[in-house]
Amino acid sequence: MEKINKKTKDERREQRKQYFFVIHELTTREIKRKYARSYLGIIWSVLNPLLSMLVISLIFSQLFKRDIENFPIYYLCGYILWQMFTGATNAAMTTLVDNKMLLIKVKLPMEIFVLARVYTALVNLGYSLAAFVVMLFVFGVRPSWALLFFPVIVLFLLLFSLGIAYILATAYVFFGDVKHLYSVLLTLWMYCSAIFYPVESLHGMIRIVISYNPIFNFIDSLRQVVMYGQLPPVIEVVRMAVWGIGMYLIGYHVFKKHKNEVMQKI
């Protein structure tokens, strides 16, 4: 009996290694395809946040200079997390349709294709952090012990993104218009996330909406850690955990429930 259990554990361990290898290969393929026609390649992942920061700073820094200290860093904190979220969910939405031949011919769990797209967004975040760190030194933002909390913020955002990705990937198989509807939703969502303006300048219902916006919670927590060298308020940490874990569980449940229907539709 012990030998059988040991054999089963070894088989599962080997299977996990194979799945991790597949995710790595799919991620590498996505990154290569994204920069296939670019001379600068991955360098664009570093340049994008810098160029975006420059443009937004030129436009809005004078408008908000009295309300926001160190506006470029304030903006970058929001931008890099927003890019990770939108990059993960937009890419994962079409992954089952894009890889339908692999799904049909190769016996791989469907989750792998969603995970690969989300993991690609995480890798791109890593490249963007190179630019972010440089800007911290340029604008004299000193790192503090609170930065150790940064991986926790990214983890909860990753879980939140993965949950949304599972739902979108399932919905897109049946309703292609989801892609266009989600694009409109993202525009509204971005403006409700206080990426380039101070939420303190707002009042009434709109401020309440923004304060309960999950993406704003992640962004504001990062600003607390980076700009002010302090941990986010406990209520924000609780919200991040609830949104991240809760959305992941909901998304995975929807994905798992419709697996057979997805395979039939594909």
| Residue among 111, 160, 135 at smallest CA distance from 52 | 135
Dump the DSSP string for 124-165: HHHHHHHHHHHHHHHTT----GGGGGHHHHHHHHHHHHHHHH
pLDDT at 165: 95
CB contact at 8 A, 135 and 46:
no
Q: Is 56 left (phi over 0), alpha (psi -120 to 50) or beta?
A: alpha
Distance of alpha carbon 117 from alpha carbon 27, whole angstroms: 7
- Among 171, 180, 157, which Cα is nearest to 96's? 171
**DSSP readout, the chain?**
-HHHHHHHHHHHHHHHHHHHHHHHHHHHHHHHHHTTT-SSTTHHHHHHHHHHHHHHHHHHHHHHTTT-TTHHHHHHHHHHHHHHHHHHHHHHHTHHHHTHHHHHHS---THHHHHHHHHHHHHHHHHHHHHHHHHHHHTT----GGGGGHHHHHHHHHHHHHHHHHHHHHHHHH-TTHHHHHHHHHHHHHHTTTSSS-GGG--THHHHHHHT-HHHHHHHHHHHHHHS-SPPPHHHHHHHHHHHHHHHHHHHHHHHHTHHHHHHH-
Name the residue ranges covered by the structural domains of the chain.
Answer: 42-265
The predicted pLDDT at position 210 comes to 85
Instruction: Quote the pLDDT of residue 86.
Output: 93
What is the predicted pLDDT for the residue at 14?
65
Predicted pLDDT of residue 201? 73
Calpha distance 240→160 (Å, rounded): 9
Q: So what's the pLDDT on residue 109?
A: 79
pTM of the full structure: 0.84
CA angle 197, 203, 208 (to 5 degrees): 90
Per-residue model confidence (pLDDT) at position 220: 93
**Residue found under tokens 């609830």:** 242
For residue 216, the model assigns a pLDDT of: 93
The residues, any chain, with a CB within 8 Å of residue 41's CB and separated by 6 or more, are 35
Q: List the chain pLDDT tens, one digit each, 266 residues.
A: 555 555 566 666 666 676 677 677 777 776 666 665 655 555 656 666 666 766 666 666 666 656 677 888 888 889 899 999 999 999 999 888 887 777 777 677 788 888 888 988 888 888 888 888 888 888 788 888 888 999 999 999 999 999 999 999 999 988 888 899 999 999 999 988 888 888 777 777 888 888 889 999 999 999 999 988 889 999 999 999 999 999 999 999 999 888 878 777 76
Count Cβ neighbours within 10 Å for each residue of 186-207 and write b for 16 or more, e otherwise.
Answer: eeebbebbbbbbebeeeeeeee
